[in-house]
Chain A
Amino acid sequence: MGIKKTVNSARSGWMGAGAPEGDIVVSSRIRIARNLHGYSFPHLLDREKAEQVIHAVQLALENGELVKQAGILEMNRMAELSPVERQILVEKHLISPNLLEEHEKKAVALRDDELVSIMVNEEDHLRIQCLLPGLQLEKAWEMADKIDDGLEKTLDYAFSSKYGYLTACPTNAGTGLRASVMLHLPGLVLVDQIRGVLASISKLGFTVRGLYGEGTEALGNLFQLSNQVTLGHSEEEIISSLNSITGQLLAREREARKALLQQRREQLADRVGRSYGTLMHAHMMSSEEAMRRISDVRLGVDLQMITGIAPEQLTELMVMTRPAYLLKQAQGDLSPAQRDNMRANIIRSKLNQR
């Protein structure tokens, strides 16, 4: 049970089926940063103090009322996990890469359904994350807000009436809220409008990043859109503007898909079909190619060119073909060629299963 189950399965709660706008919005995430009063921020903590913070959070999580509201969150010290297992948590988007550095000072509390995770001693003492499938920012915020209220019954937060919740980096101060959506935008990429669209978004106080956060590239036409400003707007305002921008992006993506269907139907069907065929029959597949092909097939599924595959199966496949997950399955080292072979095998068996 618990974390061992999490690192042994690629499936996660946030890949749920039939989510709102699930054809384009893969997931919605709310992350709030909180710090304890009376402790230096994590980057200045020694091991002993870091352990005190973990312990304090653990006690707060065991509070009966919080358990009733938010369920059981099990605390796992990063040091108890193997490097591969830690990397799998990143690949499943349950923790950030930051939690891998100086891991002996860090921990993560996870709920069994993996919709809630609380990172301890990341850049801030607490990073509460709620991750839901599809476009459900309000619901994710409601969950995070409740957990935050519950934790606050026991924990004394660093807060100032002027600057709000105080965070290690001043770019997070105020609400400490980072709301984000993961979008699959193959249509805008194919009609070559993505650059223009993304450039205008960044002018509106939002940022677009690749699949695994800051500084990563947009693999598989997946983009992460999140708010930049955390101070001076309320949580509800931030979420509602992200919602509205997402709504506009959805409309543009759907227009692009429609235009492709009307004007380039054969080319599109060819592209989707070739990728589907490759995934079904290839024996060697790089990570980059897998992401690209899966994206094509997902588009084909959304446009009903391919039937019998659920989008969430493809999301799962994206996690299953990441390097650490493969290493875990192999239970040992893999050469790059072996890895590419294993990736292709997993994809073939998964797609031929149905």
Chain B
Amino acid sequence: MLCEKCQERPATVHYTEIINNKQKKMHLCEVCAGQLQAEGFNFMPQMNLHNFLAGFWNQVPGTQNFAPHTRKEAGCPACGAPESLLAKKGLFGCGDCYKHFGDRLEPLMRRIHGSSTHTGKVPERAGGRARLLRKIETLRARLQDAVNREAFEEAAQLRDQIKELEKQL
């Protein structure tokens, strides 16, 4: 058995802790056990961004946590990465995974970013039209802002720019 903290050395210290009638067992190597004692902290697996993400994903309804053993795990058709990859490592396998996990991704993205729709740069290849539309949208927002501030000269300029772009659509 390997030490559960470092996953490198064999576990030689077996430690049982009972707090409030809850029993917790740990299997550690001597080095990690020594550190643990020196720190005086309760041992906890290292928490990082990817663990957190995995936790989020597990809480989204419809994901594996919901029905742990009933649904057969289907991998992404493009890269074959199973859902458990995201649940474990917090990483997708390829760009197509975003399509494959589809609707269930929405709540996750909202939880991370507070939004689930991209409003930034669009690559030229993804379509000049999408790019233009986005640019017009941005200009319209600025136009509204200029009108609110009663900056009419600026507003007139923005209006002309928008008209010019709309001709290109």
B75-108 CB mask vs A (1 if < 8 Å, else 0) is 0001101000000011111110011000001001
Given A169-B53, A174-B113: A215 in contact with B48 (beta carbons within 8 A):
yes
Whether B117 sits at the interface, judged by CB under 8 Å, is yes
B135-157 CB mask vs A (1 if < 8 Å, else 0) is 00010000000000000000000
Q: How far is the CB of A315 from chain B (nearest CB, A)?
A: 28
Given A157-B123, A169-B53, A214-B49: A232 in contact with B113 (beta carbons within 8 A):
yes
Closest to A156 in B: B125
**Interface residue ranges of B110-145 to A (CB < 8 Å):** 112-126, 130, 138
Is B118 a contact partner of A161 (Cβ separation < 8 A)?
yes
- Complexed CA–CA distance, A104 and B108 (Å): 33
Given A214-B49, A215-B48: A174 in contact with B93 (beta carbons within 8 A):
no
- Complexed CA–CA distance, A231 and B105 (Å): 13
- Complexed CA–CA distance, A43 and B121 (Å): 26
Q: How far is the CB of A323 from chain B (nearest CB, A)?
A: 22
Is A234 a contact partner of B120 (Cβ separation < 8 A)?
yes
Is B124 a contact partner of A164 (Cβ separation < 8 A)?
no
Closest to A35 in B: B95
Whether A51 sits at the interface, judged by CB under 8 Å, is no
Q: What number of B residues sit within 8 Å (CB to CB) of A?
A: 36
Is A157 a contact partner of B125 (Cβ separation < 8 A)?
yes
Q: Which of B93, B94, B115, B130 has the most CB of A within 10 A?
A: B94
Is B123 a contact partner of A232 (Cβ separation < 8 A)?
no
Please tell me which one of the listed residues B89, B120, B125 contacts residue A164 in the complex, with CB atoms under 8 A apart: B120
Question: Which residues of the other chain, B, contact A162 by a CB distance below 8 angstroms?
Answer: 116-118
Is B91 a contact partner of A163 (Cβ separation < 8 A)?
no
Give the interface residue-count category, chain A: 35 or more
Is A158 a contact partner of B95 (Cβ separation < 8 A)?
yes
Q: How far is the CB of B98 from chain A (nearest CB, A)?
A: 5
Please tell me which one of the listed residues A157, A163, A168, A169 contacts residue B118 in the complex, with CB atoms under 8 A apart: A163
- Complexed CA–CA distance, A50 and B121 (Å): 27
A59-99 CB mask vs B (1 if < 8 Å, else 0) is 00000000000000000000000000000000000000000
Whether B74 sits at the interface, judged by CB under 8 Å, is no
- Complexed CA–CA distance, A37 and B97 (Å): 12
Interface of A is mostly: loop
- Complexed CA–CA distance, A234 and B98 (Å): 20
Whether A248 sits at the interface, judged by CB under 8 Å, is no
Q: How far is the CB of B21 from chain A (nearest CB, A)?
A: 34
B44-87 CB mask vs A (1 if < 8 Å, else 0) is 00001110010000000000000000000000001101000000
Closest to B111 in A: A170
Please tell me which one of the listed residues A123, A152, A170, A232 contacts residue B119 in the complex, with CB atoms under 8 A apart: A232
Whether A159 sits at the interface, judged by CB under 8 Å, is yes
Question: Which residues of the other chain, B, contact A44 by a CB distance below 8 angstroms?
Answer: 79, 81, 93-94
Whether B109 sits at the interface, judged by CB under 8 Å, is yes
Closest to A32 in B: B121
Question: Which residues of the other chain, B, contact A173 by a CB distance below 8 angstroms?
Answer: 98, 109, 118
Whether A325 sits at the interface, judged by CB under 8 Å, is no
B10-35 CB mask vs A (1 if < 8 Å, else 0) is 00000000000000000000000000
Q: Which of A37, A39, A164 has the most CB of B within 10 A?
A: A164
Is B95 a contact partner of A175 (Cβ separation < 8 A)?
no
Whether A235 sits at the interface, judged by CB under 8 Å, is yes
Could you list 12 further interchain pairs (A-B, Cβ under 8 angstroms) beyond the known A160-B118, A163-B98? A41-B92, A159-B95, A161-B126, A164-B118, A167-B92, A174-B120, A214-B49, A215-B48, A232-B113, A233-B115, A233-B120, A234-B119
A-B pairs with beta carbons under 8 Å apart, 29 shown? A37-B95, A39-B94, A40-B78, A40-B79, A41-B94, A44-B79, A44-B93, A123-B91, A145-B121, A149-B124, A157-B123, A159-B123, A159-B125, A160-B118, A161-B126, A161-B130, A162-B118, A163-B109, A163-B117, A166-B92, A169-B91, A170-B92, A171-B113, A174-B118, A175-B118, A229-B115, A231-B113, A234-B120, A235-B121
Q: Which 9 A-B pairs have the closest CB atoms?
A: A232-B115, A164-B118, A158-B95, A231-B113, A175-B120, A166-B95, A40-B79, A234-B120, A40-B94
